[in-house]
Amino acid sequence: MVQVPSQNKDIKVLDKITEEKASVSVWQIAKAVMSAFMGIRKKSDLENDAATLKPVHVIIGGLVGALLFVIGVLILVKLVIS
């Protein structure tokens, strides 16, 4: 069977995604959550995150991000009021 170059490229991409899935960094999760909060995301980054990040990573990252945002707003309000 002869492989078409695009299929070979897809296989390399899948191998890369499989390797990345094993090692998801905290920075990758934070970057995905921050860009989701702002609504700014490249399609390629979105596809990469969808393939590598687990939903649990995104949920925990979102909760931590929301908590840090609320704490930051509370500190800012206290500084302005005082």
Distance CA 78, CA 38 (A): 24
Assess if residue 3 is contained within a domain: no
Instruction: Please report whether residue 10 resides in a domain.
Output: no
25 C-beta neighbours (distance < 10 Å), count: 10
Residue 7 forms part of a structural domain: no
24-58 pLDDT, tens digit per residue, is 899 999 999 999 898 888 888 888 888 899 999 99
* Residue position matching structure tokens 């920075």: 27
Instruction: Answer for the pair 31, 58: CB distance below 8 angstroms, yes or no.
Output: no
Q: Are the C-beta atoms of 52 and 21 separated by less than 8 Å?
A: yes
Q: Is residue 75 part of a domain?
A: yes
Q: What is the pLDDT of residues 1-20, one digit of tens each?
A: 555 555 566 566 556 655 55
Spatial distance between the Cα atoms of 32 and 41, rounded to a whole number of angstroms: 8
Domain that holds residue 58: 25-81
For the chain, the domain total comes to: 1
What is the pTM (predicted TM-score) of this model? 0.65
| Predicted pLDDT of residue 18 | 56
pLDDT for 56? 94
Predicted pLDDT at 17: 56
